[in-house]
């Protein structure tokens, strides 16, 4: 007599970070039908808080490491600041430990079929990603941002709310595109560069450079 196969174990979804971005990611995950089980945040732990937004607060990160990596999905709830690397460091640290980050797409975003979204990409409500685009791991396309056709976005990039990338734009690793900024077609934004809020970018911006006003 052959026994029935055991059903697969549903992975636990754990949110890392309970700040403003964490609230947005929790709402996104729930809107997408994900069952988020717990949150890890040192501020909550230090305060002795046991629950947050209906989630169990884990005592410390070590509690995650006690769970087999194949049974856990991590949701990165820490936002990205210009030139900041804390979000990137967290992502890479947990990846090295064998844990994975799902792609998150809000049901009220639109991502063209065939677009390539790497691990940990987060697409917020109202965002649009047009055909031919590629977005690298751990990057954010924030609320109501627009990424037009054939754009290439590297890893650990933040496209802030309301920003617009026109067709064929390339954004290299770790760059930050501020809220409401516009990058015209065919422009390249170098690694770790910062485009200030409301800026229109009309020419390439080199790696590590910062642009806070419109230039020709």
Give the CATH number, domain containing residue 67. 3.40.50.20
Tokens 């949110």 sit on residue: 15
Q: Is 149 a catalytic residue?
A: yes
**In a shared domain, residues 78 and 174:** no
Q: Give the pLDDT band (50/70/90) at residue 60.
A: confident
- On whether residue 3 sits in a domain, the answer given is no
Identify whether 6 is part of a domain: no
Neighbours of 13 (CB within 10 A): 18
CA distance 19 to 43: 9
Confidence band for 61, pLDDT divided at 50, 70 and 90:
confident
Same domain, 21 and 124: no
Q: Is the domain of 34 the same as that of 70?
A: yes
Sign of CA dihedral 89, 92, 98, 104: positive
Which has more pLDDT, 161 or 4?
161
| CATH number of the domain where residue 108 is located | 2.160.10.10
User: Per the structure, how many domains does the chain have?
Assistant: 2
138 lies in the same domain as 166: yes
Say if residues 179 and 194 touch (Cβ distance below 8 Å).
no
Mean pLDDT across the chain: 93
- Parent domain of 45: 12-96
**10 band by pLDDT with thresholds 50, 70 and 90:** low
- Are 76 and 114 in a shared domain? no
127 with 205, same domain? yes
- Do residues 17 and 91 touch, judged by C-beta distance below 8 A? no
Same-domain pairing of 52 and 125: no
Q: In percent, how much of the chain has pLDDT > 70?
A: 94
Last residue of a domain, one of 96, 117, 135: 96
pLDDT at 215: 54
Contact 182, 205 (CB under 8 A): no
54: which 2 tokens? 């209906």
Q: DSSP letters along the chain, please?
A: -PPPPPPPPPPEEEEE--SHHHHHHHHHHHHTT--EEEEE-HHHHHTT--EETTEEEPSSTHHHHTS-GGGEEEEE-----TT--HHHHHHHHHHHTT-B---EE-TTSEE-TT-EE-TT-EE-TT-EE-TT-EE-TT-EE-TT-EE-TT-EE-TT-EE-TT-EE-TT-EE-TT-EE-TT-EE-TT-EE-TT-EE-TT-EE-S-B-TT-EE-S-B-
Average pLDDT over residues 21-33: 96
Select which of 71, 106, 149, 156 is catalytic: 149
């Amino acid at each position: 007599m052959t026994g029935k196969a055991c059903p697969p174990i549903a992975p636990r979804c754990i949110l890392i970070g309970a700040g403003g971005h964490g609230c947005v990611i929790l709402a996104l995950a729930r809107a997408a039908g994900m069952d988020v089980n717990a949150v890890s945040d040192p501020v909550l732990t230090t305060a002795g808080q046991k629950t947050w937004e209906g989630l169990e607060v884990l005592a410390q990160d070590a509690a995650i490491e006690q769970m087999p990596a194949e049974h856990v999905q991590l949701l990165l709830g820490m936002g990205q600041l210009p030139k900041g690397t804390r979000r990137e460091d967290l992502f890479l640290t947990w990846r090295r430990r064998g844990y994975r980050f799902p792609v998150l797409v809000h049901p009220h975003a639109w991502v063209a079929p065939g677009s390539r979204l790497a691990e940990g990409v987060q697409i917020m409500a109202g965002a649009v990603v047009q055909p031919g685009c590629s977005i690298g791991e751990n990057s954010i396309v924030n609320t109501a941002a627009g990424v037009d056709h054939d754009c290439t976005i590297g890893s650990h990039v933040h496209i802030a709310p309301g920003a617009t990338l026109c067709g064929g734009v390339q954004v290299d690793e770790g760059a930050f595109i501020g809220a409401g900024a516009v990058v015209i077609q065919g422009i390249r934004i170098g690694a770790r560069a910062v485009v200030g809020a409301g800026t229109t970018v009309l020419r390439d911006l080199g790696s590590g450079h910062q642009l806070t006003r419109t230039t020709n």
